[in-house]
């Protein structure tokens, strides 16, 4: 392990399979997945401090004022932010860090920390993306529509501005590719 860890940002359309691939790579250990703060309400099964730090609007405002965020964005109507201190501490302790954030946030991180590697998770086709969003059963019809409408813009950014592009066709193959990109 190198003295300090490296920063990896994983982004891509909602439903492309980011969570699925990251959780496979996390199993090998030695990687820290940053826990973002959000103003969105917790979904069933989500735990404060594990999935997100669930904050009120006022709490989130205060952290913005304090400069606590490496980046923050409004995504699908809620605010989400990466806590600078958490990332810095993990990197200083020698762990590689993954940020799973939206595409705009990823580009912000790259502007502030050019050494960060941006990894884009791409669905094999748009039809398959829709099938996965529906299969996940986490989103309403309206939410699925917004996610599908946002995807082409995200894919264009992924193609042109990210360091690595991984097509999540077969889970095991794509997870191996993610591990390889991360030097594991």
Could you give the string, one character per residue 131-160, with x where binding to ligand ADP holds by CB under 6 A and - elsewhere? -x--xx------------------------
Q: Which residues bind ligand 5GP (CB under 6 A)?
A: 14, 36, 40, 71, 73, 75-76, 80-82, 100-102, 105
The three state secondary structure string of the chain is CCCCCCEEEEECCCCCCHHHHHHHHHCCCCEEECCCEECCCCCCCCCECCCEEECCHHHHHHHHHHCCEEEEEEECCEEEEEEHHHHHHHHHCCCEEEEECCHHHHHHHHHHCCCCEEEEEECCCHHHHHHHHHHHCCCCHHHHHHHHHHHHHHHHHHHHHCCEEEECCCHHHHHHHHHHHCCC
| Nearest to ligand 5GP of 11, 175 (CB atom) | 11
- 139 touches which of ligand 5GP, ligand ADP, none (CB within 5 to 8 A by kind)? none
- 19 touches which of ligand ADP, ligand 5GP, none (CB within 5 to 8 A by kind)? ligand ADP
Interface segment toward ligand ADP; rule CB under 6 A; list 24-32, 89-97, 148-156, 165-173? 165-173
Interface segment toward ligand ADP; rule CB under 6 A; list 9-17, 29-37, 47-55, 91-99? 9-17
Applying CB under 6 A, does 105 fall inside the site for ligand ADP? no
């Amino acid at each position: 392990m190198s003295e300090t860890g490296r920063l990896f940002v994983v982004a891509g359309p909602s439903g492309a399979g980011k969570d699925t691939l990251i959780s496979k790579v996390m199993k090998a250990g030695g990687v820290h997945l940053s826990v973002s703060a959000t103003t969105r309400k917790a979904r069933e099964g989500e735990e404060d401090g594990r999935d997100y730090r669930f904050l009120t609007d006022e709490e989130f405002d205060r952290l913005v004022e304090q400069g606590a965020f490496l980046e923050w964005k409004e995504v699908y109507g809620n605010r989400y932010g990466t806590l600078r201190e958490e990332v810095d501490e993990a990197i200083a302790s020698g762990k590689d860090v993954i940020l799973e954030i939206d595409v705009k946030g990823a580009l912000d991180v790259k502007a502030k920390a050019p050494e960060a590697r941006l990894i884009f998770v791409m669905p094999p086709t748009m039809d398959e993306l829709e099938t996965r969003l529906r299969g996940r059963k986490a989103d309403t019809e309206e939410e699925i529509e917004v996610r599908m409408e946002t995807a082409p813009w995200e894919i264009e950014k992924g193609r042109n501005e990210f360091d690595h592009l991984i097509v999540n066709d077969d889970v095991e193959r794509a997870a191996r590719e993610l591990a390889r990109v991360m030097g594991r």
